[in-house]
């Protein structure tokens, strides 16, 4: 028995130590830091309790960035999920070229977003960008897409949707492949043959669980958007595109306000954990039903 | 009740011809099985009749009405699928009611009815409910109506699927291997019930199966399909006793056929081993033929063709003996009362009336008793 225990410890030990060093300890350090006034390179820190959280929640800049993040998520998630589902339905109905389309639409997801952001920057350049040139050619006045407060966030949303749609599509394609074809045949004989009826009668019940999964994961991805903000807008103009992760980065590594960054990280983590718990809960309830 | 007439139906998938000019007529209320090995095109034929596939050529008429170009829902055809294809999110009641709801209520009314909003659709809904209850009573599934398909056994799902197919009182009922997902005992029981329900409702029925025992048990007539063609259409007795070709004879029957290659003498008399059958096939005189016996066509006897018992397959009321004769294995069906021992030498006596004779192309040829005059 004790020999088995030693073997178990020996086998699990290395990974447990790695997890402890790389995940648990840093997390505890972040949580600890958020209760101090520590600044990187500054004097010895003192405990300040919840002061950092109070400051952060009262800070209009932080409120603005939380609101911007919420707006961003609320646009990207339905956009990418809906478009991903539509693409998956179209592609699964294809007789030929299925894998070609699949690859084309999945490419944006596997391409490095930071590099792709450069490409978008060139496309959206106010004077020589393809977007403005094309619009001017048909008589629409040029817009400085990334410097205009009205367009900066929507442009990031579009890029976010462009990036996440392929991800959603691949999962929907997998779910659609599991829908029994005999059910579609039965629906056609039962008088529910129209595509709209068949979608709700046959397809929707089979992809419900996958839809939930896709929504939660895409939400997590959208919450963690950083590359496009860093490359394209730096959070501007004003606070229009200061998404949460970018704020944390700025606080920690541009302003070196380490404890503020730690507090923001903890809030961010709580939001992400709530999301994960929600997914688990909804998933269990579905299985139970 | 309607007559189904299929004329010259052909279908190819790409370069592969699946159906070659199929013609078949089912009388009103008749139960016809499409019997064939997998890949013979029987399911494709059924799907074309249902309107789920389009034929390349030919016509289908149901009750005199041409079905080409008619949508599946407007064909007055119902189908039971191999997997039963019940909607998993719906109860048995909702599954059975769906074909009626789809026809009698508009899309908007169906939505409104879900939330019990619309008075008129509720009235239609109540009438549908009555019909579902009545049918469920006939099918003896009243107690199961509020269960979801996951909570039903295979046989119960089968009945619900049958209910969904019967609720509209279609003229034609199509069944695609509806018993193949049931276990053996349930399969035998359910096929009886299907045959009985079909007679009770008087619906014309096309039943696809690869199981010849199933086809024989339930059908008025059987259409044997091989390689995209109907090679024989007849009653179960005709198919079994008078198969038109060697291929049909080999496919029908639960035990393999005992086959012997022979060269008939110039007078056309047939003999099995050293034993003359007292039969002749004048048209095949001097030609190579195949003589075949089903297991019950050979009997244990005091004298005849010598053989050795190698294995006994005991079935209770009867037994199948695997015996060795001239280096080949033959199968003999016998009563289980007095079985020989394994390794015992026995003699086989052929039953002349059960002999089947096929020419070199595999077509069955006439064989007749010796004394009657030959008609050339």
- Give the CATH number of the domain where residue B90 resides: 3.40.50.300
Residue A233 CB contacts under 8 Å (≥ 6 apart), including other chains: A146, A152, A156, A240, A241
Lowest mean pLDDT among A79-83, B116-120, B147-151, B259-263: B116-120
pLDDT value for B149: 93
Residues B193 and B274 in one domain: no
pLDDT value for A209: 84
For residue A211, which of A141, A114, A152, A283 has the smallest C-alpha distance?
A283
CA A250 to chain centre: 19
Question: Can you give the CATH number for the domain in which A106 is found?
Answer: 1.10.3720.10
> For residue range B91-118, what is the model confidence (pLDDT) as tens digits?
999 999 999 988 888 877 777 776 766 6
Residue B158 CB contacts under 8 Å (≥ 6 apart), including other chains: B80, B84, B178, B179, B182, B190
Q: What is the mean pLDDT of residues A65-81?
A: 92
The whole-angstrom distance between B234's CA and the closest CA on chain A is: 29
Residues B184 and B305 in one domain: no
Residues of chain B contacting residue A288, judged by C-beta atoms under 8 Å apart: none
Q: What is the mean pLDDT of residues A67-95?
A: 92
The last residue of one of the domains, among B215, B246, B277, is B246
d(CA A208, CA A202) in angstroms, rounded, equals 11
**Does B64 touch chain A if contact means CB atoms closer than 8 Å?**
no
pLDDT value for A289: 43
pLDDT value for B226: 92
d(CA A228, CA A226) in angstroms, rounded, equals 6
Query: Which of B47, B71, B88 shows the shortest C-beta gap to A205?
Result: B88
pLDDT value for A232: 82
Residues B312 and B226 in one domain: no
Task: Flag whether A233 is in a domain.
Answer: yes
d(CA B26, CA A65) in angstroms, rounded, equals 74
Residues B234 and B313 in one domain: no
Q: Is the pLDDT of residue B16 over 60?
A: yes
More confident residue, B48 or B339: B48
Query: Which of B71, B81, B88 shows the shortest C-beta gap to A185?
Result: B81
Mean pLDDT, chain B, whole residue set: 88
Task: Flag whether A225 is in a domain.
Answer: yes
Whether the CB-CB separation of B175 and B208 falls below 8 Å is answered with yes
pLDDT value for A1: 59
Task: Flag whether A245 is in a domain.
Answer: yes
Task: Flag whether A21 is in a domain.
Answer: no
Residues B74 and B221 in one domain: yes
**Does A148 touch chain B if contact means CB atoms closer than 8 Å?**
no
d(CA A24, CA A15) in angstroms, rounded, equals 12
Q: Is the pLDDT of residue A273 over 60?
A: yes
Domain that holds residue B240: 4-246
- Asked whether the beta carbons of residue A186 and residue B107 sit closer than 8 angstroms, the reply is no
pLDDT value for B103: 84
> For residue range B62-94, what is the model confidence (pLDDT) as tens digits?
988 998 889 888 888 999 999 899 999 999 999
The last residue of one of the domains, among B246, B275, B299, is B246
B176: which 2 tokens? Answer: 């695609």
Q: Is the pLDDT of residue A285 over 80?
A: no
Q: Which long-range contacts (CB under 8 A, 24 or more apart) does B191-200 make?
A: B191/B217, B191/B218, B192/B217, B192/B218, B194/B162, B194/B218, B195/B31, B197/B138, B197/B139, B197/B162, B197/B166, B198/B31, B198/B173, B199/B31, B200/B138
**Does A266 touch chain B if contact means CB atoms closer than 8 Å?**
no
Q: Is the pLDDT of residue B373 over 60?
A: no
Whether the CB-CB separation of A170 and A106 falls below 8 Å is answered with yes
d(CA B261, CA A148) in angstroms, rounded, equals 92
Domain that holds residue A245: 56-288
Lowest mean pLDDT among A140-154, A248-262, B154-168, B255-269: A140-154
What would the 3-class secondary structure string for B211-231 be?
CHHHHHHHCCEEEEEECCEEE
Q: Is B23 helix (H, G, I), strand (E, B) or coil?
A: strand
> For residue range A164-180, what is the model confidence (pLDDT) as tens digits?
999 999 999 999 998 99
Q: What is the mean pLDDT of residues B5-27?
A: 91
Q: Is A3 helix (H, G, I), strand (E, B) or coil?
A: helix
Q: What is the mean pLDDT of residues B128-138?
A: 90
pLDDT-derived band of residue A160, with 50, 70 and 90 as boundaries?
Answer: very high
CA A267 to chain centre: 17
Q: Is the pLDDT of residue B174 over 90?
A: yes
pLDDT value for B116: 66
Q: What is the mean pLDDT of residues B295-320?
A: 88
pLDDT-derived band of residue A287, with 50, 70 and 90 as boundaries?
Answer: low
Whether the CB-CB separation of A51 and A38 falls below 8 Å is answered with no
**Phi, psi at residue A116, to the nearest 5°?**
-65, -30
Lowest mean pLDDT among A158-162, B218-222, B253-257, B304-308: B253-257
Question: Can you give the CATH number for the domain in which B281 is found?
Answer: 2.40.50.140
Residues of chain A contacting residue B73, judged by C-beta atoms under 8 Å apart: 188-193
> For residue range B21-44, what is the model confidence (pLDDT) as tens digits?
999 999 999 999 999 998 889 999
Residues B60 and B191 in one domain: yes
Residues B210 and B264 in one domain: no
d(CA B36, CA B230) in angstroms, rounded, equals 9
**Does A201 touch chain B if contact means CB atoms closer than 8 Å?**
yes
For residue B175, the chain A residue with the least C-alpha distance is: A186
pLDDT value for B305: 86
pLDDT value for A58: 86
> For residue range A109-139, what is the model confidence (pLDDT) as tens digits?
988 888 888 888 888 888 788 888 888 888 8
Task: Flag whether A6 is in a domain.
Answer: no
- Asked whether the beta carbons of residue B87 and residue A201 sit closer than 8 angstroms, the reply is yes
B151: which 2 tokens? Answer: 């909570």
**Does B51 touch chain A if contact means CB atoms closer than 8 Å?**
yes
Q: Is B10 helix (H, G, I), strand (E, B) or coil?
A: strand
Q: What is the mean pLDDT of residues B325-343?
A: 86
Q: DSSP letter at B44?
A: H
pLDDT-derived band of residue A281, with 50, 70 and 90 as boundaries?
Answer: confident
Residues of chain A contacting residue B85, judged by C-beta atoms under 8 Å apart: 180, 182-183, 185-186
pLDDT-derived band of residue A36, with 50, 70 and 90 as boundaries?
Answer: confident
Residues B301 and B221 in one domain: no
Residue B308, strand partner residues: B324, B345
The total number of structural domains that make up chain B: 2
Q: What is the mean pLDDT of residues A245-265?
A: 86
The total number of structural domains that make up chain A: 1
The whole-angstrom distance between B27's CA and the closest CA on chain A is: 22
Lowest mean pLDDT among A25-29, A121-125, B116-120, B236-240: B116-120
Residues B150 and B265 in one domain: no
């Amino acid at each position: 028995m004790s020999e088995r225990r030693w073997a178990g410890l020996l086998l699990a030990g290395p990974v447990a130590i790695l997890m402890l060093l790389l995940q648990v300890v840093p997390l505890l350090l972040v949580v600890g830091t958020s209760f101090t006034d520590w600044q990187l390179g500054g004097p010895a820190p003192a405990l300040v309790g919840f002061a950092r959280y109070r400051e952060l929640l009262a800070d209009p800049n932080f409120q603005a960035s939380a609101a911007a993040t919420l707006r961003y998520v609320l646009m990207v998630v339905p956009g990418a999920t809906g478009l991903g589902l539509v693409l998956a339905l179209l592609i699964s109905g294809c007789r030929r070229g299925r894998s070609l389309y699949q690859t084309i639409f999945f490419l944006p997801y596997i391409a490095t977003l930071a590099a792709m952001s450069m490409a978008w920057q060139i496309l959206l350049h106010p004077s020589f960008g393809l977007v403005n040139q094309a619009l001017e050619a048909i008589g629409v006045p040029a817009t400085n897409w990334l410097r205009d407060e009205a367009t900066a966030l929507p442009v990031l949303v579009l890029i976010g949707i462009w990036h996440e749609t392929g991800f959603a599509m691949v999962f929907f394609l997998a779910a659609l492949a599991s829908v029994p074809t005999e059910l579609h045949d039965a629906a056609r004989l039962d008088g529910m043959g129209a595509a709209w009826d068949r979608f709700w009668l046959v397809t929707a019940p089979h992809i419900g669980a996958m839809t939930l999964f896709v929504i939660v994961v895409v939400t997590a991805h959208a919450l963690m958007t950083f590359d496009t903000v860093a490359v394209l807008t730096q959070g501007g103009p004003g606070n229009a595109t200061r998404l949460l992760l970018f704020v944390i980065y700025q606080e920690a590594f541009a302003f070196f306000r380490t404890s503020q960054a730690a507090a923001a990280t903890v809030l961010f983590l709580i939001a992400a954990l709530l999301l994960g718990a929600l997914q688990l809960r909804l998933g269990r309830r579905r299985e139970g039903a | 009740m309607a007559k189904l007439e299929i004329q010259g139906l052909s279908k190819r998938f790409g370069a592969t011809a699946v159906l070659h000019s199929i013609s078949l007529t089912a009388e009103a209320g008749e139960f016809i099985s499409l019997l064939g090995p997998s890949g013979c095109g029987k399911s494709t034929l059924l799907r074309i009749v249902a309107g789920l596939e389009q034929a390349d050529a030919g016509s289908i008429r149901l009750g005199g009405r041409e079905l080409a170009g008619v949508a599946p829902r407007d064909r007055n055809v119902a189908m039971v699928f191999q997997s039963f294809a019940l909607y998993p999110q719906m109860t048995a009641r909702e599954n059975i009611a769906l074909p009626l709801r789809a026809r009698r209520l508009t899309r908007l009314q169906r939505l409104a009815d879900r939330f019990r909003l619309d008075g008129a659709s509720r009235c239609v809904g109540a009438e549908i409910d009555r019909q579902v209850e009545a049918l469920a009573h006939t099918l003896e599934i009243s107690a199961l109506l509020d269960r979801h398909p996951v909570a039903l056994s295979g046989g119960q799902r089968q009945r619900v699927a049958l209910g969904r197919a019967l609720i509209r009182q279609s003229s034609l009922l199509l069944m695609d291997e509806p018993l193949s997902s049931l276990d053996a005992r349930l399969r035998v029981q359910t096929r009886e019930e299907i045959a009985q329900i079909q007679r009770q409702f008087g619906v014309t029925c096309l039943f696809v199966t690869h199981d010849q025992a199933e086809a024989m048990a339930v059908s008025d007539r059987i259409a044997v399909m091989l390689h995209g063609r109907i090679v024989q259409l007849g009653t179960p007795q005709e198919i079994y006793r008078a198969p038109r070709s060697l291929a049909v004879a080999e496919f029908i029957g639960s035990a393999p056929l005992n086959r012997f290659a022979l060269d008939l003498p110039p007078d056309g008399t047939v003999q099995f081993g050293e034993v003359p059958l007292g039969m002749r096939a004048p048209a095949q005189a001097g030609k190579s033929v195949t003589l075949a016996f089903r297991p019950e066509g050979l009997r244990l006897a005091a004298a005849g063709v010598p053989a050795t018992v190698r294995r006994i397959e005991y079935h209770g009321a009867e037994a199948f003996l695997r015996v060795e004769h001239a280096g080949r294995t033959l199968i003999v069906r016998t009563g289980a009362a007095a079985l020989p021992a394994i390794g015992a030498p026995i003699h086989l006596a052929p039953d002349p009336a059960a002999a089947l004779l096929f020419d070199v192309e595999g077509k069955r040829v006439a064989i007749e008793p010796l004394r009657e005059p030959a008609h050339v």
